[in-house]
Structure 1
Amino acid sequence: MSPDDVAARREAFYARADTQHLAPLWTRLKALVPKLPAHQLVPHVWHYDDLRPHVMESARQISAAEAERRVMILENPALRGSSQITNTLYAGLQLIMPGEVAPAHRHTQSALRFIVEGSGAYTAVDGEKTIMQPGDFVITPSWTWHHHGHDGDGPMVWLDGLDIPMCTFFGSTFREDHDQAEAPVARPVGDALARYGSGLLPVGYVARNLNSPVFNYPWARTREALHALTKAGVPDAHTGHLMRYVNPVDGGWAMPTMATMVRLLPAGFATLPYRSSDSMVFTTVEGRGELRVADQVFAMGPRDIAVVPGWMPYTLHARDDWALFSYSDRVAQEKLGLWREARG
Protein backbone atom coordinates (compact mmCIF):
# COMPACT_ATOMS: atom_id res chain seq x y z
CA MET A 1 0.00 0.00 0.00
CA SER A 2 1.14 3.54 -0.68
CA PRO A 3 1.80 5.93 2.23
CA ASP A 4 -1.37 7.80 1.31
CA ASP A 5 -3.42 4.58 1.40
CA VAL A 6 -1.93 3.64 4.79
CA ALA A 7 -2.75 7.10 6.20
CA ALA A 8 -6.31 6.94 4.84
CA ARG A 9 -6.87 3.47 6.30
CA ARG A 10 -5.63 4.61 9.69
CA GLU A 11 -7.78 7.72 9.68
CA ALA A 12 -10.81 5.59 8.92
CA PHE A 13 -9.88 3.30 11.83
CA TYR A 14 -9.47 6.28 14.16
CA ALA A 15 -12.91 7.56 13.13
CA ARG A 16 -14.53 4.18 13.86
CA ALA A 17 -12.79 3.98 17.27
CA ASP A 18 -13.91 7.52 18.08
CA THR A 19 -17.55 6.39 17.99
CA GLN A 20 -16.73 4.34 21.11
CA HIS A 21 -14.79 7.18 22.74
CA LEU A 22 -11.46 5.53 22.00
CA ALA A 23 -8.29 7.21 20.75
CA PRO A 24 -4.90 5.82 19.63
CA LEU A 25 -2.13 6.57 22.12
CA TRP A 26 0.58 6.52 19.45
CA THR A 27 -0.77 9.72 17.90
CA ARG A 28 -0.56 11.52 21.25
CA LEU A 29 2.28 9.82 23.13
CA LYS A 30 4.95 12.51 22.64
CA ALA A 31 2.56 15.21 23.79
CA LEU A 32 1.37 13.21 26.81
CA VAL A 33 4.87 12.16 27.88
CA PRO A 34 7.25 14.92 26.66
CA LYS A 35 11.00 14.92 27.20
CA LEU A 36 10.74 18.07 29.34
CA PRO A 37 7.91 19.63 31.36
CA ALA A 38 5.44 21.39 29.12
CA HIS A 39 3.03 24.03 30.36
CA GLN A 40 1.56 27.36 29.35
CA LEU A 41 2.91 29.41 32.25
CA VAL A 42 5.01 32.50 31.70
CA PRO A 43 7.22 34.36 34.18
CA HIS A 44 5.75 37.62 35.43
CA VAL A 45 6.15 40.25 38.13
CA TRP A 46 3.43 42.32 39.79
CA HIS A 47 4.72 45.58 41.26
CA TYR A 48 2.86 46.31 44.46
CA ASP A 49 2.85 50.06 43.87
CA ASP A 50 0.88 49.41 40.68
CA LEU A 51 -1.51 46.97 42.33
CA ARG A 52 -2.20 48.87 45.53
CA PRO A 53 -4.59 51.51 44.07
CA HIS A 54 -6.82 48.73 42.71
CA VAL A 55 -6.69 46.80 45.97
CA MET A 56 -7.66 49.93 47.92
CA GLU A 57 -10.44 50.80 45.48
CA SER A 58 -12.00 47.40 46.10
CA ALA A 59 -12.92 48.63 49.62
CA ARG A 60 -15.01 51.40 48.02
CA GLN A 61 -16.73 48.89 45.78
CA ILE A 62 -17.69 46.17 48.25
CA SER A 63 -17.51 45.39 51.97
CA ALA A 64 -15.57 42.48 53.42
CA ALA A 65 -18.83 40.97 54.71
CA GLU A 66 -20.55 41.19 51.34
CA ALA A 67 -17.55 39.91 49.42
CA GLU A 68 -16.86 37.22 52.04
CA ARG A 69 -13.21 37.50 51.01
CA ARG A 70 -12.28 40.83 49.39
CA VAL A 71 -9.40 39.66 47.22
CA MET A 72 -7.88 40.76 43.94
CA ILE A 73 -6.65 37.62 42.16
CA LEU A 74 -3.17 37.46 40.62
CA GLU A 75 -3.55 35.56 37.36
CA ASN A 76 -0.67 34.26 35.30
CA PRO A 77 -0.82 36.18 31.99
CA ALA A 78 -0.90 32.86 30.13
CA LEU A 79 -3.84 31.57 32.22
CA ARG A 80 -6.26 34.50 32.06
CA GLY A 81 -9.71 33.67 33.37
CA SER A 82 -8.46 30.64 35.29
CA SER A 83 -7.89 32.25 38.72
CA GLN A 84 -4.48 30.53 38.71
CA ILE A 85 -0.96 31.86 39.19
CA THR A 86 0.47 28.40 38.34
CA ASN A 87 -1.05 25.14 37.16
CA THR A 88 -1.64 24.04 40.76
CA LEU A 89 -1.71 27.24 42.84
CA TYR A 90 -3.79 30.34 43.44
CA ALA A 91 -2.62 33.77 44.61
CA GLY A 92 -4.47 36.93 45.58
CA LEU A 93 -4.16 40.11 47.61
CA GLN A 94 -6.75 40.32 50.39
CA LEU A 95 -7.79 43.63 51.96
CA ILE A 96 -9.54 44.19 55.27
CA MET A 97 -10.33 47.61 56.69
CA PRO A 98 -10.67 48.71 60.33
CA GLY A 99 -13.83 47.42 61.98
CA GLU A 100 -14.56 44.83 59.32
CA VAL A 101 -15.03 41.09 59.70
CA ALA A 102 -14.58 38.60 56.88
CA PRO A 103 -17.11 35.94 57.90
CA ALA A 104 -16.23 32.45 59.07
CA HIS A 105 -16.14 29.49 56.74
CA ARG A 106 -14.05 26.39 56.08
CA HIS A 107 -12.97 24.50 52.99
CA THR A 108 -10.89 21.54 51.89
CA GLN A 109 -8.31 23.80 50.28
CA SER A 110 -5.28 24.70 52.40
CA ALA A 111 -4.42 28.39 52.64
CA LEU A 112 -1.45 30.51 53.60
CA ARG A 113 -1.35 34.20 54.40
CA PHE A 114 1.80 36.27 54.02
CA ILE A 115 1.28 39.72 55.48
CA VAL A 116 2.44 42.58 53.26
CA GLU A 117 0.98 45.79 54.71
CA GLY A 118 -0.61 47.17 57.87
CA SER A 119 -1.07 46.05 61.45
CA GLY A 120 -3.84 45.37 63.92
CA ALA A 121 -5.78 42.80 61.90
CA TYR A 122 -6.20 39.24 63.05
CA THR A 123 -7.19 35.85 61.81
CA ALA A 124 -8.91 33.25 63.96
CA VAL A 125 -8.10 29.67 62.99
CA ASP A 126 -9.60 26.58 64.59
CA GLY A 127 -10.44 28.37 67.84
CA GLU A 128 -7.39 30.60 68.25
CA LYS A 129 -6.88 34.22 67.24
CA THR A 130 -3.51 35.58 66.10
CA ILE A 131 -2.55 39.20 65.48
CA MET A 132 -0.82 39.61 62.11
CA GLN A 133 2.18 41.80 61.31
CA PRO A 134 4.05 42.41 58.02
CA GLY A 135 6.27 39.46 57.14
CA ASP A 136 4.32 36.96 59.22
CA PHE A 137 3.51 33.62 57.59
CA VAL A 138 0.12 32.29 58.72
CA ILE A 139 -1.38 28.86 57.99
CA THR A 140 -5.06 28.00 57.59
CA PRO A 141 -5.20 24.19 57.44
CA SER A 142 -7.72 22.32 55.34
CA TRP A 143 -11.26 22.15 56.80
CA THR A 144 -10.63 24.44 59.76
CA TRP A 145 -13.04 27.22 60.68
CA HIS A 146 -11.50 30.64 60.16
CA HIS A 147 -12.47 34.28 59.94
CA HIS A 148 -10.60 37.58 59.76
CA GLY A 149 -11.11 40.88 61.54
CA HIS A 150 -9.46 44.25 62.05
CA ASP A 151 -9.33 46.09 65.36
CA GLY A 152 -6.53 48.47 64.39
CA ASP A 153 -6.11 51.49 62.16
CA GLY A 154 -5.52 51.72 58.43
CA PRO A 155 -5.81 49.08 55.70
CA MET A 156 -4.37 45.57 56.12
CA VAL A 157 -3.26 43.57 53.09
CA TRP A 158 -1.87 40.08 52.79
CA LEU A 159 -0.95 37.64 50.06
CA ASP A 160 -3.27 34.64 49.96
CA GLY A 161 -1.85 31.38 48.60
CA LEU A 162 -4.10 28.35 48.18
CA ASP A 163 -3.97 24.95 46.49
CA ILE A 164 -7.34 25.54 44.80
CA PRO A 165 -6.35 24.27 41.32
CA MET A 166 -4.79 21.17 42.85
CA CYS A 167 -7.93 20.35 44.82
CA THR A 168 -10.06 21.03 41.75
CA PHE A 169 -8.00 18.55 39.75
CA PHE A 170 -8.67 15.86 42.35
CA GLY A 171 -12.37 16.76 42.49
CA SER A 172 -12.10 17.35 46.23
CA THR A 173 -13.39 20.89 46.65
CA PHE A 174 -15.84 21.26 49.52
CA ARG A 175 -16.81 24.26 51.64
CA GLU A 176 -19.12 25.12 54.54
CA ASP A 177 -20.27 28.45 55.91
CA HIS A 178 -20.46 29.00 59.66
CA ASP A 179 -23.81 30.03 61.13
CA GLN A 180 -22.09 32.99 62.82
CA ALA A 181 -19.89 35.69 61.31
CA GLU A 182 -17.19 34.86 63.84
CA ALA A 183 -16.33 31.29 64.77
CA PRO A 184 -15.84 30.62 68.50
CA VAL A 185 -12.39 31.43 69.94
CA ALA A 186 -11.44 29.08 72.78
CA ARG A 187 -7.70 29.61 73.25
CA PRO A 188 -5.69 32.74 74.08
CA VAL A 189 -3.60 34.63 71.55
CA GLY A 190 -0.17 33.02 71.21
CA ASP A 191 -1.19 29.63 72.57
CA ALA A 192 -0.06 27.59 69.54
CA LEU A 193 3.30 29.35 69.29
CA ALA A 194 3.96 28.80 73.01
CA ARG A 195 2.99 25.11 72.89
CA TYR A 196 4.63 24.08 69.65
CA GLY A 197 6.95 26.82 68.40
CA SER A 198 9.67 26.96 71.05
CA GLY A 199 11.42 23.66 70.49
CA LEU A 200 8.89 22.00 72.80
CA LEU A 201 5.84 19.77 72.35
CA PRO A 202 3.23 18.75 74.92
CA VAL A 203 3.87 15.21 76.16
CA GLY A 204 1.43 12.85 74.48
CA TYR A 205 0.64 15.29 71.65
CA VAL A 206 -0.94 13.60 68.63
CA ALA A 207 -1.16 15.53 65.37
CA ARG A 208 -4.71 16.22 64.18
CA ASN A 209 -3.74 16.81 60.56
CA LEU A 210 -0.71 17.10 58.27
CA ASN A 211 -0.17 20.82 58.94
CA SER A 212 2.17 22.34 61.45
CA PRO A 213 0.38 23.06 64.76
CA VAL A 214 2.16 26.44 64.69
CA PHE A 215 -0.07 28.56 62.49
CA ASN A 216 1.73 31.92 62.76
CA TYR A 217 5.46 32.14 62.09
CA PRO A 218 6.31 35.73 63.11
CA TRP A 219 8.64 37.70 60.86
CA ALA A 220 10.61 39.05 63.82
CA ARG A 221 11.82 35.53 64.66
CA THR A 222 12.37 34.58 61.03
CA ARG A 223 14.35 37.73 60.26
CA GLU A 224 16.63 37.20 63.24
CA ALA A 225 17.36 33.63 62.15
CA LEU A 226 18.10 34.64 58.55
CA HIS A 227 20.55 37.37 59.49
CA ALA A 228 22.28 35.04 61.97
CA LEU A 229 23.07 32.77 59.00
CA THR A 230 25.13 35.51 57.35
CA LYS A 231 27.61 35.32 60.24
CA ALA A 232 27.97 31.55 60.04
CA GLY A 233 29.06 31.04 56.44
CA VAL A 234 28.67 31.96 52.80
CA PRO A 235 25.27 31.56 51.11
CA ASP A 236 24.53 28.66 48.79
CA ALA A 237 25.73 29.60 45.33
CA HIS A 238 22.40 28.76 43.66
CA THR A 239 19.80 29.63 46.29
CA GLY A 240 21.33 32.02 48.83
CA HIS A 241 20.58 31.53 52.51
CA LEU A 242 17.45 29.45 51.90
CA MET A 243 15.33 28.09 54.78
CA ARG A 244 12.03 26.22 54.87
CA TYR A 245 9.22 26.62 57.36
CA VAL A 246 8.92 23.34 59.26
CA ASN A 247 6.34 21.32 61.12
CA PRO A 248 7.86 20.86 64.60
CA VAL A 249 6.09 17.52 65.02
CA ASP A 250 8.02 15.67 62.32
CA GLY A 251 10.48 18.18 60.87
CA GLY A 252 8.69 18.11 57.52
CA TRP A 253 7.18 20.95 55.52
CA ALA A 254 4.80 23.21 57.41
CA MET A 255 1.94 22.42 54.99
CA PRO A 256 1.06 19.19 53.16
CA THR A 257 0.52 20.60 49.66
CA MET A 258 2.45 23.89 49.55
CA ALA A 259 6.15 24.25 50.28
CA THR A 260 6.86 27.55 52.03
CA MET A 261 10.38 28.97 52.13
CA VAL A 262 12.23 32.15 52.97
CA ARG A 263 15.69 33.24 51.87
CA LEU A 264 18.18 36.04 52.35
CA LEU A 265 20.64 37.22 49.72
CA PRO A 266 23.35 39.59 51.01
CA ALA A 267 23.74 42.90 49.20
CA GLY A 268 25.69 42.42 45.97
CA PHE A 269 25.24 38.65 45.93
CA ALA A 270 24.07 36.94 42.72
CA THR A 271 23.05 33.31 42.48
CA LEU A 272 24.13 30.86 39.82
CA PRO A 273 21.40 29.50 37.53
CA TYR A 274 18.88 27.23 39.22
CA ARG A 275 15.71 25.47 38.13
CA SER A 276 13.28 23.03 39.67
CA SER A 277 10.12 21.27 38.56
CA ASP A 278 7.90 23.29 40.90
CA SER A 279 6.62 26.65 39.69
CA MET A 280 7.56 29.25 42.31
CA VAL A 281 5.72 32.30 43.64
CA PHE A 282 8.03 34.91 45.21
CA THR A 283 7.36 38.06 47.19
CA THR A 284 9.91 40.53 48.54
CA VAL A 285 9.85 41.04 52.29
CA GLU A 286 12.77 43.45 52.55
CA GLY A 287 15.33 44.92 50.17
CA ARG A 288 15.57 45.05 46.41
CA GLY A 289 17.01 42.96 43.64
CA GLU A 290 16.54 41.50 40.18
CA LEU A 291 14.95 38.24 39.16
CA ARG A 292 16.34 37.09 35.82
CA VAL A 293 14.44 34.39 33.95
CA ALA A 294 15.86 33.36 30.59
CA ASP A 295 16.31 36.69 28.76
CA GLN A 296 13.87 38.62 30.96
CA VAL A 297 14.92 40.88 33.83
CA PHE A 298 12.39 41.74 36.56
CA ALA A 299 13.25 44.41 39.11
CA MET A 300 11.69 43.62 42.48
CA GLY A 301 11.24 45.80 45.53
CA PRO A 302 9.31 45.46 48.78
CA ARG A 303 5.93 43.69 48.42
CA ASP A 304 6.42 42.93 44.72
CA ILE A 305 5.26 39.47 43.66
CA ALA A 306 6.66 37.26 40.90
CA VAL A 307 6.09 33.81 39.43
CA VAL A 308 8.69 31.55 37.79
CA PRO A 309 7.41 28.56 35.79
CA GLY A 310 8.73 25.15 36.71
CA TRP A 311 11.94 23.98 35.05
CA MET A 312 12.75 27.46 33.78
CA PRO A 313 16.27 28.57 34.85
CA TYR A 314 16.49 31.74 36.92
CA THR A 315 19.00 33.77 38.91
CA LEU A 316 18.58 36.26 41.75
CA HIS A 317 20.72 39.42 42.00
CA ALA A 318 20.56 41.32 45.29
CA ARG A 319 20.99 45.08 45.34
CA ASP A 320 20.40 45.35 49.09
CA ASP A 321 20.12 42.63 51.68
CA TRP A 322 17.20 40.95 49.94
CA ALA A 323 14.70 38.78 51.81
CA LEU A 324 12.20 36.74 49.77
CA PHE A 325 9.28 34.58 50.83
CA SER A 326 8.19 31.90 48.37
CA TYR A 327 5.71 29.07 47.99
CA SER A 328 5.26 26.27 45.48
CA ASP A 329 3.81 22.78 45.13
CA ARG A 330 7.22 21.18 45.81
CA VAL A 331 6.00 19.29 48.88
CA ALA A 332 3.24 17.60 46.85
CA GLN A 333 5.69 16.77 44.07
CA GLU A 334 8.16 15.29 46.56
CA LYS A 335 5.50 13.02 48.04
CA LEU A 336 4.66 11.76 44.55
CA GLY A 337 8.32 11.29 43.60
CA LEU A 338 8.11 13.91 40.85
CA TRP A 339 10.26 16.79 42.10
CA ARG A 340 13.55 17.52 40.32
CA GLU A 341 16.14 20.30 40.45
CA ALA A 342 19.14 21.30 38.34
CA ARG A 343 21.99 23.59 39.32
CA GLY A 344 23.94 25.41 36.67
Structure 2
Amino acid sequence: MLELSDIQSSQEELEAYYAQLQAQHVTPAWIGGGISIEPQSEAVPYLWRWRDLRPQAMRAAELVGTQQAERRVLRLTNPKLPGIASNTLVANIQIVMPGEIARAHRHSAAALRLIIEGQGGYTVVNGERVPMYPGDLVLTPNWSWHDHANDTDAPMIWLDGLDTPLVRMLDAGFYEEYHQERQDFGATVNASQWHYPFSEMRAALQRLAAVSAGDT
Protein backbone atom coordinates (compact mmCIF):
# COMPACT_ATOMS: atom_id res chain seq x y z
CA MET A 1 0.00 0.00 0.00
CA LEU A 2 1.36 3.39 -0.99
CA GLU A 3 0.99 6.25 1.47
CA LEU A 4 2.59 9.43 2.71
CA SER A 5 5.61 8.77 4.91
CA ASP A 6 5.71 10.10 8.47
CA ILE A 7 9.23 10.35 9.90
CA GLN A 8 9.40 11.67 13.45
CA SER A 9 12.85 13.24 13.60
CA SER A 10 13.95 15.15 16.67
CA GLN A 11 14.39 18.91 16.52
CA GLU A 12 18.08 18.46 17.31
CA GLU A 13 18.57 16.11 14.35
CA LEU A 14 16.80 18.46 11.99
CA GLU A 15 18.72 21.52 13.14
CA ALA A 16 22.05 19.69 12.77
CA TYR A 17 21.06 18.54 9.29
CA TYR A 18 19.96 22.03 8.25
CA ALA A 19 23.24 23.46 9.53
CA GLN A 20 25.17 21.00 7.35
CA LEU A 21 23.10 21.99 4.33
CA GLN A 22 23.62 25.69 4.98
CA ALA A 23 27.38 25.19 5.16
CA GLN A 24 27.19 23.62 1.69
CA HIS A 25 24.90 26.38 0.33
CA VAL A 26 21.94 24.03 -0.02
CA THR A 27 18.40 24.91 1.08
CA PRO A 28 15.64 22.38 1.88
CA ALA A 29 12.63 23.41 -0.16
CA TRP A 30 10.10 22.21 2.41
CA ILE A 31 10.82 25.00 4.87
CA GLY A 32 10.54 28.75 4.49
CA GLY A 33 7.34 28.84 2.49
CA GLY A 34 6.13 27.11 -0.65
CA ILE A 35 4.80 28.21 -4.00
CA SER A 36 2.47 31.21 -3.86
CA ILE A 37 -1.11 30.47 -4.89
CA GLU A 38 -1.35 33.89 -6.57
CA PRO A 39 0.97 36.66 -7.82
CA GLN A 40 2.64 38.68 -5.08
CA SER A 41 4.20 41.60 -6.90
CA GLU A 42 5.84 44.32 -4.86
CA ALA A 43 4.83 46.91 -7.47
CA VAL A 44 2.06 49.32 -6.49
CA PRO A 45 -0.24 51.46 -8.64
CA TYR A 46 1.07 54.94 -9.32
CA LEU A 47 0.09 57.76 -11.68
CA TRP A 48 2.69 60.02 -13.28
CA ARG A 49 1.05 63.18 -14.58
CA TRP A 50 2.26 64.85 -17.76
CA ARG A 51 1.85 68.30 -16.25
CA ASP A 52 4.53 67.29 -13.73
CA LEU A 53 6.81 65.38 -16.10
CA ARG A 54 7.11 67.88 -18.94
CA PRO A 55 8.63 70.71 -16.86
CA GLN A 56 11.12 68.26 -15.40
CA ALA A 57 12.09 67.06 -18.88
CA MET A 58 12.63 70.65 -20.01
CA ARG A 59 14.70 71.35 -16.90
CA ALA A 60 16.83 68.28 -17.62
CA ALA A 61 17.50 69.69 -21.10
CA GLU A 62 18.78 72.88 -19.47
CA LEU A 63 21.10 71.09 -17.06
CA VAL A 64 22.43 68.03 -18.91
CA GLY A 65 23.64 67.71 -22.50
CA THR A 66 23.60 64.63 -24.70
CA GLN A 67 27.40 64.64 -24.52
CA GLN A 68 27.15 64.07 -20.78
CA ALA A 69 24.22 61.63 -20.85
CA GLU A 70 24.16 58.62 -23.16
CA ARG A 71 20.40 59.13 -23.13
CA ARG A 72 18.76 62.12 -21.45
CA VAL A 73 15.88 60.26 -19.86
CA LEU A 74 13.81 60.55 -16.72
CA ARG A 75 13.04 57.09 -15.41
CA LEU A 76 9.55 56.55 -14.01
CA THR A 77 10.17 54.71 -10.77
CA ASN A 78 7.55 52.64 -9.00
CA PRO A 79 7.42 53.66 -5.32
CA LYS A 80 8.17 50.06 -4.29
CA LEU A 81 10.65 49.10 -7.02
CA PRO A 82 14.01 50.92 -7.11
CA GLY A 83 14.68 52.41 -10.54
CA ILE A 84 12.02 50.53 -12.51
CA ALA A 85 8.32 50.88 -13.30
CA SER A 86 7.47 47.19 -12.97
CA ASN A 87 9.27 43.91 -12.38
CA THR A 88 9.78 43.43 -16.12
CA LEU A 89 9.66 46.90 -17.68
CA VAL A 90 11.19 50.34 -17.43
CA ALA A 91 9.42 53.48 -18.65
CA ASN A 92 11.35 56.65 -19.42
CA ILE A 93 10.59 60.14 -20.63
CA GLN A 94 13.26 61.10 -23.17
CA ILE A 95 13.85 64.57 -24.58
CA VAL A 96 16.01 65.59 -27.54
CA MET A 97 16.30 69.33 -28.11
CA PRO A 98 16.64 71.12 -31.49
CA GLY A 99 20.02 70.46 -33.06
CA GLU A 100 20.85 67.58 -30.73
CA ILE A 101 21.64 63.94 -31.39
CA ALA A 102 21.64 60.90 -29.12
CA ARG A 103 24.52 58.67 -30.20
CA ALA A 104 24.03 55.23 -31.74
CA HIS A 105 24.17 52.06 -29.69
CA ARG A 106 22.42 48.71 -29.30
CA HIS A 107 21.48 46.42 -26.43
CA SER A 108 19.78 43.15 -25.60
CA ALA A 109 16.66 44.83 -24.29
CA ALA A 110 13.89 45.47 -26.80
CA ALA A 111 12.40 48.97 -26.81
CA LEU A 112 9.41 50.93 -27.98
CA ARG A 113 8.88 54.66 -28.29
CA LEU A 114 5.51 56.37 -28.07
CA ILE A 115 5.90 59.90 -29.36
CA ILE A 116 4.34 62.58 -27.16
CA GLU A 117 5.55 65.91 -28.50
CA GLY A 118 7.41 67.24 -31.54
CA GLN A 119 7.08 67.31 -35.31
CA GLY A 120 9.54 65.43 -37.46
CA GLY A 121 12.57 64.63 -35.38
CA TYR A 122 13.71 61.14 -36.15
CA THR A 123 15.19 57.91 -34.89
CA VAL A 124 17.35 55.63 -37.01
CA VAL A 125 16.81 51.88 -36.60
CA ASN A 126 19.37 49.65 -38.32
CA GLY A 127 20.05 52.37 -40.89
CA GLU A 128 16.42 53.29 -41.60
CA ARG A 129 15.43 56.87 -40.81
CA VAL A 130 12.04 56.97 -39.08
CA PRO A 131 10.37 60.40 -38.70
CA MET A 132 8.45 60.84 -35.46
CA TYR A 133 5.14 62.62 -34.84
CA PRO A 134 2.79 62.63 -31.82
CA GLY A 135 1.03 59.31 -31.35
CA ASP A 136 3.51 57.38 -33.50
CA LEU A 137 4.81 54.06 -32.21
CA VAL A 138 8.41 53.14 -33.06
CA LEU A 139 9.77 49.70 -32.24
CA THR A 140 13.43 48.92 -31.66
CA PRO A 141 13.94 45.14 -31.69
CA ASN A 142 16.60 43.80 -29.38
CA TRP A 143 20.18 44.19 -30.60
CA SER A 144 19.18 46.75 -33.24
CA TRP A 145 21.38 49.78 -33.81
CA HIS A 146 19.50 52.98 -33.04
CA ASP A 147 20.18 56.67 -32.58
CA HIS A 148 18.03 59.79 -32.40
CA ALA A 149 18.26 63.30 -33.83
CA ASN A 150 16.20 66.47 -33.80
CA ASP A 151 16.66 68.70 -36.84
CA THR A 152 13.49 70.68 -36.10
CA ASP A 153 13.06 73.89 -34.11
CA ALA A 154 11.11 72.37 -31.19
CA PRO A 155 11.78 69.70 -28.55
CA MET A 156 11.10 66.05 -29.29
CA ILE A 157 9.72 64.17 -26.29
CA TRP A 158 8.59 60.57 -26.09
CA LEU A 159 7.95 57.66 -23.76
CA ASP A 160 10.51 54.85 -23.84
CA GLY A 161 9.53 51.34 -22.80
CA LEU A 162 12.19 48.64 -22.41
CA ASP A 163 12.20 45.11 -21.01
CA THR A 164 15.53 45.74 -19.28
CA PRO A 165 14.52 44.25 -15.89
CA LEU A 166 13.46 41.01 -17.57
CA VAL A 167 16.69 40.81 -19.57
CA ARG A 168 18.71 41.53 -16.43
CA MET A 169 16.84 38.84 -14.49
CA LEU A 170 17.76 36.34 -17.22
CA ASP A 171 21.42 37.48 -17.12
CA ALA A 172 21.13 38.17 -20.84
CA GLY A 173 22.15 41.81 -20.97
CA PHE A 174 24.63 42.98 -23.62
CA TYR A 175 25.44 46.51 -24.78
CA GLU A 176 27.58 47.93 -27.59
CA GLU A 177 28.33 51.42 -28.88
CA TYR A 178 28.37 52.12 -32.62
CA HIS A 179 31.75 52.87 -34.22
CA GLN A 180 30.63 56.46 -34.85
CA GLU A 181 28.12 58.80 -33.24
CA ARG A 182 25.43 58.31 -35.90
CA GLN A 183 24.45 55.60 -38.35
CA ASP A 184 24.54 56.12 -42.09
CA PHE A 185 21.09 56.16 -43.68
CA GLY A 186 20.01 53.39 -46.01
CA ALA A 187 22.13 50.57 -44.60
CA THR A 188 19.05 48.71 -43.35
CA VAL A 189 19.68 45.19 -42.08
CA ASN A 190 17.17 42.67 -40.74
CA ALA A 191 14.38 44.92 -41.99
CA SER A 192 11.06 44.65 -40.19
CA GLN A 193 8.09 46.91 -39.60
CA TRP A 194 9.02 49.11 -36.68
CA HIS A 195 7.14 52.31 -37.45
CA TYR A 196 3.40 52.62 -36.83
CA PRO A 197 2.36 56.21 -37.67
CA PHE A 198 -0.60 57.43 -35.65
CA SER A 199 -2.21 58.87 -38.79
CA GLU A 200 -2.41 55.38 -40.28
CA MET A 201 -3.46 53.73 -37.02
CA ARG A 202 -6.20 56.33 -36.49
CA ALA A 203 -7.57 55.71 -39.98
CA ALA A 204 -7.51 51.95 -39.39
CA LEU A 205 -9.35 52.35 -36.08
CA GLN A 206 -11.97 54.56 -37.71
CA ARG A 207 -12.55 51.93 -40.40
CA LEU A 208 -12.84 49.27 -37.73
CA ALA A 209 -15.29 51.41 -35.76
CA ALA A 210 -17.44 51.89 -38.87
CA VAL A 211 -17.54 48.14 -39.51
CA SER A 212 -18.33 47.42 -35.87
CA ALA A 213 -21.15 49.99 -35.91
CA GLY A 214 -22.63 48.27 -38.95
CA ASP A 215 -22.60 44.92 -37.15
CA THR A 216 -24.80 46.28 -34.37
Would you say the 8 A contact 1:65–1:100 is kept in 2? no
Partner of 2:106: 106
Partner of 1:228: 207
Q: State the shift of 1:44 in Å.
A: 1.2
Q: State the shift of 1:232 in Å.
A: 2.7
Q: TM-score, normalised by structure 1?
A: 0.57
The reply to whether residue 11 of structure 1 matches residue 42 of structure 2 is: no
Q: 1:64 & 1:157 partners in 2: Cα distance?
A: 14
Q: 1:133 & 1:103 partners in 2: Cα distance?
A: 20
Partner of 1:20: 24
SS in 2 for 1:230: helix
Partner of 1:95: 95
Partner of 2:5: none
Q: 2:11 & 2:57 partners in 1: Cα distance?
A: 56
Partner of 2:4: none
SS in 2 for 1:39: coil
Q: 1:227 & 1:23 partners in 2: Cα distance?
A: 57
Identical-residue share of aligned pairs (%): 41
Partner of 1:171: 171
Would you say the 8 A contact 1:127–1:184 is kept in 2? yes
Letter in 2 for 1:119: Q
Q: 1:114 & 1:108 partners in 2: Cα distance?
A: 20
2:75 paired residue among 42, 62, 73: 73
Would you say the 8 A contact 1:124–1:146 is kept in 2? yes
SS in 2 for 1:159: strand
Deviation readout 1:294-338 (Å, 9 max, x if unpaired): xxxxxxxxxxxxxxxxxxxxxxxxxxxxxxxxxxxxxxxxxxxxx
The reply to whether residue 60 of structure 1 matches residue 62 of structure 2 is: yes
Q: State the shift of 1:78 in Å.
A: 0.9
Partner of 2:3: none
Q: State the shift of 1:178 in Å.
A: 1.4
Letter in 2 for 1:22: V
In structure 2, runs of 5+ residues without a counterpart are 1-8
Instruction: Tell me the matched-pair count.
Output: 205
- Larger relative strand fraction: 1
Q: 1:176 & 1:11 partners in 2: Cα distance?
A: 49
Would you say the 8 A contact 1:120–1:153 is kept in 2? no
Q: 1:8 & 1:95 partners in 2: Cα distance?
A: 62
Q: 1:64 & 1:121 partners in 2: Cα distance?
A: 15
Letter in 1 for 2:153: D
Deviation readout 1:14-41 (Å, 9 max, x if unpaired): 12210011111001352xx211111101
Structure 1 runs of 4+ off > 6 angstroms?
Answer: none
Partner of 2:151: 151
Q: State the shift of 1:119 in Å.
A: 1.4
Q: State the shift of 1:8 in Å.
A: 4.4
Q: Which moved more, 1:19-28 or 1:223-232?
A: 223-232
Larger RCO (CA within 8 A; separation ≥ 6): 2
SS in 1 for 2:68: helix
Q: 2:180 & 2:133 partners in 1: Cα distance?
A: 26
SS in 2 for 1:154: coil
1:257-296 alignment to 2 at 5 Å? none
In structure 1, runs of 5+ residues without a counterpart are 193-206, 235-344
Q: 1:183 & 1:84 partners in 2: Cα distance?
A: 29
Partner of 1:135: 135
Q: 1:233 & 1:101 partners in 2: Cα distance?
A: 43
Q: 2:209 & 2:40 partners in 1: Cα distance?
A: 37
Letter in 2 for 1:38: Q
Rate the CA distance shift 1:28–1:232 in 2: closer, same or farther, 3 A: farther
Q: State the shift of 1:229 in Å.
A: 2.7
The reply to whether residue 39 of structure 1 matches residue 41 of structure 2 is: yes
Q: 1:229 & 1:146 partners in 2: Cα distance?
A: 33
